[in-house]
Amino acid sequence: MRSVGFVGVHVLRGRAEPMSSALHVVHRAKRSGLGGIILITGEAGIGKTAALDTVRAEAASAGFVVGMSKADEGDHVSPGMPLLLALRSGRTPLASSKAFDDVNTLVDQPLLLIDRV
């Protein structure tokens, strides 16, 4: 396993174990062809965005198309909206405009939304 802080994005100190776990998901997905989810949680200011940027850069360099969104506790967004935003983020969105329109109507039905996604 490479050292934490590679890909030239951020140098992360004291995050070796969580970064190793997150990067394991990326590498396992690359080897197996199966997806994975990385959820980063924690208090403000602990480096979640820096960690996520590093994981995203590694995933992109491994050939993945990467979507990203965030949900803060104080946000009053519809359930499922952060997921939908992640599907349409970035230069190469994970979902086409038509696919996004198809699932966007299910925002108020989270179980159907997750199933359709």
Name all contacts of 35-42 with Cβ < 8 Å and 24+ positions apart: none
Across the chain, mean pLDDT equals: 79
pTM of the complete model: 0.63
Tens digits of residue pLDDT in 2-15 = 334 444 445 566 67
Q: What is the pLDDT of residue 28?
A: 92
| Six token digits for residue 65 | 């198309």
> CA torsion angle for 14, 51, 18, 75 (degrees, to 10)?
120
Q: Do 16 and 4 form a contact (C-beta atoms < 8 A)?
A: yes
Q: Do 86 and 68 form a contact (C-beta atoms < 8 A)?
A: yes
Spatial separation of the C-alpha atoms in residues 91 and 108, rounded to whole Å: 27
Tens digits of residue pLDDT in 20-49 = 888 898 999 999 988 888 887 888 888 888
Q: What is the pLDDT of residue 32?
A: 93
Q: What is the pLDDT of residue 20?
A: 84
